[in-house]
Structure 1
Amino acid sequence: MNSELDIVREGQNKSVTNNFLAAIEFMDDITNNDSLPKHIRYKIRIALDYTDNTFQTQDRVQTGKNIPYGIQTQQMPYPYSINDKFVNSISRMLLLLMVLNWIFTVSMNVKDIVHEKEKQLKEIMKIMGLKDSVHWFTEFILCTTVIMFTAFLLVLLLKCLSSTVAFGFGCDYITRFEGMVKGIQWFNINNGVKPNDNFTFLYCIIMMLIDSVL
């Protein structure tokens, strides 16, 4: 730049698009010198957005008091929030994934039937002189044996008092505490997620223990 006025104009133009950081203005003409002088006078022109304010210095000069700083206040004290996309997504899917685990036995039975159709085992049994009823009775026994234990557990769960509700609330509270980077610990197992939350994770455990006795 040829002059200080050119620097100011260029800085104003680039500040509109936030492309101006700082500029250095040399007070002495050193373009035609072969060596630099021992004392160089210069100015650093920094953009306003990157310049610290002088409120603290102004208060000390005007009041004459050196006030110790470091006091922090919050309008609504609450644990800091971390935007964890994985925790936010798994909080909606955790209960569903737990329930979908029950259909594992059904998928395995479907796999066995597809395998039988692919290998044509039923046709081989017909050639051996066995009837279709024998084949389907065998499939029924295999499926019933696998599903019987799961069905027995489901019957026990149906006799319980709101076991799925307690389990669902428990999973929700687990994900909420994980989102706060605390997790369910022994010291906060009887604490709510919010300051005025009267429901805790301990209630879910007590309800599921009662259901276990039933």
Structure 2
Amino acid sequence: MFSFLQMIQHALPLCLTISWVYAFAMLTQSIVYEKEVRLKEVMKIMGLNNGVHWVAWFITIFSQTTVVMVAVTIILHFGKVLVHSNPFLIFIIFEIYALSTISLAFLVSVFYSKAKIAAACSGIIYLLTYVPCMYISIREDLAQDTIPKWAKMLASLFSTSAFGMGAKYIAFYENIGTGIQFDNIRYSPVEGDHFTCFETVLFMLLDTLIHLILMWYIENVYPGTYGIPKKWYFPFTISYWTGEIYVE
């Protein structure tokens, strides 16, 4: 049992994060495909607001991922993997990660106009954002180094790395037999470590906000083949916020 928990401590973060690669790539591909075949432009001509378009995508994908996260939580809890942890708290953490992943897919999609290229590149981008977490894990587990809090905070600006570190804390709590609970999520299970699972959750929420802001800005400045780009300073113009026609 002990060796199994030790293995989970190292494998759980990687497995939970990597399992999202395909879904992330397919989501990005679907969004870009809609842009590639001009469906998005057709809907705009018909009067669909761009914000409503993104909200519709979000509701569709988030509702689907919620079902998946419920299933994953049930499997991990009743499958004797995360026996001691609070399943509702685990579900909340998974849902917040789903938020950050969906917003990251939205952000990546604005850079591409070809669906197949977007699918291939988005998977690579997703994996690259997990590299900081892997580096920190190797330094801590193999080299037995103490990683400063500022370095973990910097790595957590990538939502996949934040989730990976959060999953590792969950595995640590499970390993010591208490499991992660609402009353210990603010504390690190590792002696001398000043970073916590709660902070990884906060960073995932922050990452979601950053992704959405960047997506909104880049899409307006670089709308792709068929859109009309705005000036880089458009957020500071009165015409944008009052709804007047933007003049180049």
TM over 0.5: no
- The two structures have a TM-score, normalised by structure 2, of 0.31
Report which structure shows greater RCO (CA 8 Å, sep ≥6). 2
Structure with greater strand share of residues: 1
